Amino acid sequence: MDALKEQYYIEVPESLNPEQQKMMIELEKDAFPGMGAVDEQTLVPLARYGKLIQYFQENDARPIAICELLRDYKDITKAYIFGFYVRSDKQGSGIGQLFLEEIFSILKKDNFESVCLTVNVKNEGAVKLYKKMDFTIKETRAGEFGEGEDRYYMVRSIS
């Protein structure tokens, strides 16, 4: 897996120009057809005040995976994954697991003790990945993002 890891790299932009914003919106819509919810008014604050982590593959100008992170205001040792996705043409190839390992390393360096997220209960692939990566379902939140948007709230320790 280390040889595979060598062909990927991380970028953490602190701002996004309009072309990058458009690309990020397109990537989100690709990952979540009919559901993609980020726009410029979400992306700009995420890049400036949160942490927007982009995962690239050599010789590919577009990120193959994205993680949008915020700090929990009530517990500053906890990070919240606002968004995490792998580009549709790269799904099922182990990229999600590799990318999460990189994210955990970054969070540890940033002195976080835990990370949490919510995931649609119907997103079986993502739930399986998060469980494999030691996330635990702490609760089910009915209607978290509106009617029919039930989500698992999952947490993982950073060690």
CB atoms within 10 A of CB 79: 27
Q: Does a structural domain hold residue 142?
A: no
CA nearest neighbour of 54 among 70, 68, 40: 68
Q: Does a structural domain hold residue 17?
A: yes
Q: Does a structural domain hold residue 13?
A: yes
* Of 74 and 27, more confident: 74
Task: Kindly write down the DSSP assignment for every residue of 101-141, as one continuous string.
Answer: HHHHHHHHHTT--EEEEEEETT-HHHHHHHHHTT-EEEEEE
Q: Does a structural domain hold residue 151?
A: no
- For residues 112 and 115, give the distance between their C-alpha atoms in angstroms, rounded to a whole number: 8
pLDDT given at position 23 = 85
Domain count, the chain: 1
Flag the least confident range among 31-35, 75-79, 105-109: 31-35
Q: Does a structural domain hold residue 67?
A: yes
Q: Does a structural domain hold residue 79?
A: yes
The answer to whether 23 touches 56, Cβ cutoff 8 Å, is no
Task: State the alpha helices, DSSP H only, in the chain.
Answer: 2-5, 18-31, 40-49, 95-109, 124-132
pTM: predicted TM-score of the whole model, two decimal places: 0.86
Q: Does a structural domain hold residue 156?
A: no
44: phi then psi, degrees, rounded to nearest 5? -60, -50
**Domain of residue 18, CATH code:** 3.40.630.30
Q: Does a structural domain hold residue 44?
A: yes
Range of the domain at 27: 2-113
pLDDT given at position 148 = 85
